[in-house]
Structure 1
């Protein structure tokens, strides 16, 4: 499948008459901000290019990776139903804190909106909706683990809240983990910042990337799957962890 670009930062992974699949950069909204339309968002960018565009699902502003939009009402209705029925294969990469006792597992904890902190979610055994996240540890580092994550349901902030709930929040998550950035000096022993220089973080946004998205294409009559390569900041962080903080198993 040919990759094209219509913006220096926003890569089109695939498109046909029904859908357009992008590799969303971190920091870009999926839909317009309620209070300021001037903030860059994929919906406005795509609407300018295609005329009419339909939102199928969303990624958090600071999450990078694969996201799909529909180009017509038929595709929108079909894909919306698939997402509603959880008939979509979603795979994420997450860098979390610490080491999980079980290297493969399932987190099954109900979630609901947190009334005390608008715009966030919480584990709620009484009124929460069932939420399921499967995971598999790919690599372990001194203080972190790289995990393949498959959310079987699609609640807001599901991955972030689930890993926080089991004591392993994302390595960077200012809302659910309290951490905003990671520096090389934390990873590389004996690393020294040059005099009169301020160290720049290796990464300063959510350590979460939507890696793959797959579903049955209603017009092609076949299963299709799309993959979004890791952005440079995430790739650089993993590379430094492998070099200076790898845990041998």
Structure 2
């Protein structure tokens, strides 16, 4: 099924455009030339400037600039940590503290290519978290990241022993099935149970930044259907 960029756009003005990126779609094309959100936006608007990115498997909010002035303006806010970024995630188990700050430096893993790890000589990385809801096997969490390191939330959650659900790099990568937490769940003899959630349970939910005229712009990206359905089942 072809992705229609019109279905992903959640905010646009003369300076910026924001999309609610589905899990599995790249933000920008990779080295092999696999297209990303930016390509779809270029087809619609022409010039598009990348300000920040999300991991391919993370869903949620990505903002792009539509001209060089807006690009410079927003990039400076990201670099100076003037933006406010909120993420949501489903994790395995429940952290001991209902809220806290994880301040652990992150660096590239010395032997595992493409992964990151907590390392004392790494770059400063700070994640604030709040446990929003506790379930028997999982917890729904809200994050505010004060630094923007690669895989930051995923690495920090692994570090405290509660990796993001369905994370193939830092967790067990296993999907969520209804039978895991529904005692009376039954399936037909010849049926195979389909997972409720079968992708990284991390979502970029909101971003606040300053427009060119100095006013605050807050954009929110609703969570996707699969995550919504999983939470509804967990709440029952």
Whether TM exceeds 0.5 here: the answer is yes
How many Å separate the matches in 2 of 1:180 and 1:8? 30
- Per the alignment, residue 225 of structure 2 pairs with 232
Q: Does 1:14 align with 2:29?
A: no
Number of matched pairs: 234
How many Å separate the matches in 2 of 1:9 and 1:180? 32
Give the 3-state SS of the residue equivalent to 2:186 in structure 1: coil
Unaligned runs of 5+ residues in structure 2 are: none
Alignment of 1:23-62 (within 5 A): 23-35=20-32, 37=33, 39-62=34-57
Question: CA contact under 8 A between 1:9 and 1:25: conserved in structure 2?
Answer: no
Shift of residue 52, structure 1, vs aligned partner: 1.1
Question: CA contact under 8 A between 1:10 and 1:24: conserved in structure 2?
Answer: no
- Per the alignment, residue 171 of structure 2 pairs with 177
Question: CA contact under 8 A between 2:104 and 2:125: conserved in structure 1?
Answer: yes
Shift of residue 8, structure 1, vs aligned partner: 6.8
- Per the alignment, residue 158 of structure 1 pairs with 152
Superposed CA RMSD in Å reads 1.3
- Superposed structure 1 runs of 4+ greater than 6 Å apart: none
How many Å separate the matches in 2 of 1:67 and 1:52? 16
The more displaced of 185-194 and 148-157 is 185-194
Unaligned runs of 5+ residues in structure 1 are: 1-5, 244-249
Question: CA contact under 8 A between 1:173 and 1:180: conserved in structure 2?
Answer: yes
TM-score (norm 2): 0.96
